[in-house]
Amino acid sequence: MNLSALARSPYASVVYVAVAWLVLVPLFSISPRYLPPLGTVIADARSVWPDLVAGFWRTLVETVLGFVAGTILGVGFGIAFAYSRLLERALFPIFVALQTVPVIAFGAIVVIWFGNTIMAKVVIALYLAFFPVAVNTLRGLELADPQRIALMRSFGASRLQLFLKLSLPTALPNILIGMKLAVALSIAGAVVGEWFGDTVGLGVMLLQALYFEQIPRVWVLIIACGLLGTLLYGVLAILERRYVWWRPD
């Protein structure tokens, strides 16, 4: 990798932002109420390191389980909607409405349903991750060129062959867009799920930081959530580069 490619990579963005943070805070004498100096934030992170690691790990597990389950469900419904107009017309608006249901409103109820277990957070993460994947799968499948469909049909391709060889490959880049959106949402689901009675996790620490108005701690947790998101996003990007290198046309 040459220097200019390295300078453009997302990893470099972290460095740019860190440098900007180091330079801009003293330069404009930004109040610590808005943005404390990077050093203060790092010192705060070190003071709670074991809790932070345990919380990170716990939230990561909840997020990944919810994300994977949500993606599978989302792709399934996206395909069903693409192949059944009736199903799309009947269920899509309901899903949109359900999507706007603030699941966290049900935090207490979800805990009654699933107990105060990891399952409650996974369900909330799944619920939030599902929708963007379904929407993008549907849009992606609709992109398949009708002329190519007609061509493949004229050669006697079955519906399954059309789907596997044309529609699905055309839709995959879009499905990945949906999955990238879903990653951030499933982290949000896991974090918010933890607000309802748990003792370990980034969400728990975030709630405590708000109550005690510890702004450096809030920034530590924002960075931790960002790292979690970047980690999962990075894994997706690697998978994309290896398996879905083409673009829809």
In the complex, the residues that contact another protein under the rule CB under 8 A are 8, 10, 12-14, 16-17, 20, 33-34, 86, 89-91, 93-94, 96-102, 104-109, 112-113, 128, 131-132, 135-136, 139, 177, 181, 184-185, 187-188, 191-192, 202, 206-207, 209-210, 213, 215, 218-219, 221-223, 225-227, 229-230, 233, 247-249
**Phi then psi dihedrals of residue 115, to 5 deg:** 75, 170
CB of 155 to another protein, least distance (A): 26
* CB 161 to another protein: min, Å: 26
CA–CA separation, 215 vs 206, rounded Å? 10
Residue reference for tokens 């789907």:
163
Nearer to another protein, 39 or 197 (CB): 197
H-assigned helices in 100-143:
107-114, 118-142
What would the two tokens of residue 218 be?
């809030």
Query: How far apart are CB 12 and another protein at their closest, in Å?
Result: 7
Torsion of the alpha carbons at 194, 196, 199 and 201, rounded to the nearest 10:
10
CB of 166 or CB of 206, closer to another protein: 206
Q: Are 62 and 190 in contact (CB under 8 A)?
A: yes
**Of 168 and 210, which CB lies nearer to another protein in the complex structure?**
210
Q: Report the alpha-carbon distance of residue 234 to residue 228 in Å, rounded.
A: 10
Give whichever of 126 and 128 is closer to another protein, judged by the CB atom. 128
CA pair distance 47, 191, nearest whole angstrom: 21
Select 157 or 173, whichever has its Cβ closest to another protein.
Answer: 173
Q: How far is the CB of 8 from another protein (least distance, A)?
A: 7
CA atoms within a 13 Å half-sphere pointing along the CA-CB vector of 18? 10
